[in-house]
């Protein structure tokens, strides 16, 4: 007898377990486990018999139970900040596709923009996820430390913690900011505005500093660069631009850089829809990210493309999900310079001489 007396499944019908399958197939419960484990030592015909029994009973293995012993849940937590920005939805979609293709489940957490992800992270820890990917949200060093101690890999996507040793992947934001500066300059702009995003995000800061550096090198002075706060969202940028230039408050610059595409679209809508200013004829506009919406009519936004797939793949790779749970940490890996690409569209007009 494969299933010894006293070890039968005692529940009244609900929830078929491996014991039920074992009983039907006339094998031990361990054999059922092996039948569902690729590469386990089990005879082909035994497995076949077990699988048939399982099918008959509509048995579905309980991953939760197995993860108790294997110490792997095959769940990856994704913590999402600014869901209003289509770029992060693009990232999420890509993340989901890749992770699902690997047979991993995604435990999703959304965090209000600017809010700390600490409590989300705390809940994540209870669920024994195999790894955590955090995009667009703040987190405390206490939390990164906690993850590290517990051996849960954490990687930041599209942001980093300066001076801290948390793995992270970012594109070359400052280089991208510089590209925009150069494009504007080549197109003949001399007075500028920039609409900034999350004041605590490294991404926004780096794009800004690259942009400014490019401008300064061309001899543009600070008083020719207006800085506006857009808070990383469409409405923020639209309102900031409208407030800044309504009623001829101040002179409209030659070019405006929206630190991300969503904001650049807000900039354009404020300009064209509220202030009656033409883009690119009166003012040039550029964004950053290359979201689909920005490529459409009537935006046709000149922007810097972030290689989402590459970034996502690198982030997942940094999780090192396939190494053993207790494996030693082979050093920090931070990739902050994934190359970006300038996408010329219609909102920056090149002068003839170019």
Q: Which residues bind DNA (CB under 7 A)?
A: 1-4, 9-11, 15, 17-19, 26-34, 36-37, 41-44, 46, 61-62, 65-66, 68-70
Residue 42 binds which of DNA, a copy of itself, none (CB < 5-8 A, kind-dependent): DNA
Residue 127 binds which of a copy of itself, DNA, none (CB < 5-8 A, kind-dependent): a copy of itself
Min separation Cβ 285 and a copy of itself, Å: 15
Min separation Cβ 123 and a copy of itself, Å: 7
Site string for a copy of itself, 5-44 (x = CB under 8 A): ---------xx-----------------------------
Any bridge partners for residue 195, and if so which? 228, 258
Out of 8, 40, 62, 165, point to the residue binding a copy of itself (CB under 8 A): 62
Q: Are 152 and 167 in contact (CB under 8 A)?
A: no
Which residue, 5 or 126, is less far from a copy of itself as judged by CB? 126
Which residue, 30 or 65, is less far from a copy of itself as judged by CB? 65
Min separation Cβ 149 and a copy of itself, Å: 7
How many of the chain's residues bind a copy of itself (CB under 8 A)? 49
Residue 93 binds which of a copy of itself, DNA, none (CB < 5-8 A, kind-dependent): a copy of itself
Q: How far apart are CA 227 and CA 121, in angstroms?
A: 34
Under rule CB under 8 A, residue 105 binds a copy of itself = yes
> Within positions 273 to 312, which residues make up the interface with a copy of itself, using CB under 8 A?
273-274, 293, 296-298
Residues whose CB is less than 8 angstroms from the CB of residue 117 and which lie 6 or more positions away in sequence, other chains included:
79, 81, 109, 111, 134, 137, 138, 139, 143
**Backbone torsions φ then ψ of 96, nearest 5 degrees:** -65, -45
Min separation Cβ 114 and a copy of itself, Å: 15
> Within positions 223 to 252, which residues make up the interface with a copy of itself, using CB under 8 A?
234
Q: How far apart are CA 83 and CA 315, in angstroms?
A: 19
Count of beta carbons in the 10 Å neighbourhood of residue 85? 22
Q: Sheet with 225-229: list strands edge to edge.
A: 225-229, 192-196, 255-258, 284-286
Residue 18 binds which of DNA, a copy of itself, none (CB < 5-8 A, kind-dependent): DNA
**Positive or negative: CA dihedral 320, 324, 329, 330:** negative
Under rule CB under 8 A, residue 96 binds a copy of itself = yes
Min separation Cβ 120 and a copy of itself, Å: 8
Min separation Cβ 55 and DNA, Å: 14
Q: Are 258 and 176 in contact (CB under 8 A)?
A: no
Strands 168-171 and 284-286: unpaired
Under rule CB under 8 A, residue 97 binds a copy of itself = yes
Q: How far apart are CA 337 and CA 286, in angstroms?
A: 21
DSSP 8-class letter at 239: H
Query: CA of 142: how far to CAs of 150, 166, 200, 261, in Å?
Result: 12, 12, 17, 33
- Tokens coding 215: 């401008």
Q: How far apart are CA 350 and CA 119, in angstroms?
A: 49
Residue 272 binds which of DNA, a copy of itself, none (CB < 5-8 A, kind-dependent): a copy of itself
DSSP 8-class letter at 191: S
Min separation Cβ 74 and a copy of itself, Å: 9
Q: Are 118 and 125 in contact (CB under 8 A)?
A: no
Largest interatomic CA distance in the chain: 91
Binding site for a copy of itself (CB under 8 A): 14-15, 58, 60-65, 67-68, 73, 75, 78, 83, 86, 89, 92-93, 96-97, 100, 105-110, 120, 122-123, 125-128, 146, 149-151, 234, 269, 272-274, 293, 296-298, 326
């Amino acid at each position: 007898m494969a299933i010894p007396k006293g070890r039968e499944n005692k529940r009244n019908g609900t929830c078929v377990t491996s014991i039920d399958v074992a009983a039907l197939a006339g094998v031990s419960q361990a054999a059922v486990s092996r039948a569902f484990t690729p590469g386990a030592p089990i005879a082909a015909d035994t497995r076949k018999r077990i699988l048939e029994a399982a099918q008959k009973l509509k048995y579905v293995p309980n991953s939760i139970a197995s993860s108790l012993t294997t110490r792997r849940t095959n769940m990856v937590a994704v913590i999402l900040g600014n869901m209003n920005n289509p770029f992060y939805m693009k990232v999420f979609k890509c993340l989901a596709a890749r992770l699902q293709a690997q047979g991993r489940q995604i435990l999703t957490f959304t965090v209000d923009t600017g809010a700390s992800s600490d409590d989300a992270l705390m809940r994540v820890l209870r669920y024994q996820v195999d790894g955590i990917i955090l995009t667009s949200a703040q987190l405390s060093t206490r939390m990164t430390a906690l993850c590290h101690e517990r051996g849960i890999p954490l990687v930041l996507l599209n942001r980093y913690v300066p001076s801290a040793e948390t793995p992270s992947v970012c594109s070359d934001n400052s280089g991208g900011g510089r590209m925009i500066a150069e494009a504007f300059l080549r197109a003949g702009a001399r007075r500028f505005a920039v609409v900034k995003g999350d004041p605590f995000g490294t991404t926004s800061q780096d794009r800004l500093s690259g942009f400014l550096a490019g401008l300064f090198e061309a001899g543009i002075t600070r008083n020719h660069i207006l800085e506006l706060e857009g808070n990383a969202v469409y409405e923020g940028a639209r309102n900031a631009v409208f407030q800044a230039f309504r009623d001829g408050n101040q002179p409209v610059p030659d070019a405006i850089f929206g630190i991300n595409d969503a904001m650049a679209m807000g900039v354009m809508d404020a300009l064209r829809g509220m202030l009656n200013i033409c883009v690119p004829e009166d003012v040039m506009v550029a964004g950053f990210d290359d979201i689909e919406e920005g490529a459409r009519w009537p935006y046709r936004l000149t922007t810097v493309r972030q290689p989402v797939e590459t970034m996502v793949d690198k982030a997942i790779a940094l999780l090192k999900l396939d190494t053993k749970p207790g494996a030693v940490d082979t050093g920090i890996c931070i990739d902050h310079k994934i190359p970006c690409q300038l996408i010329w569209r219609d909102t920056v007009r090149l002068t003839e001489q170019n």
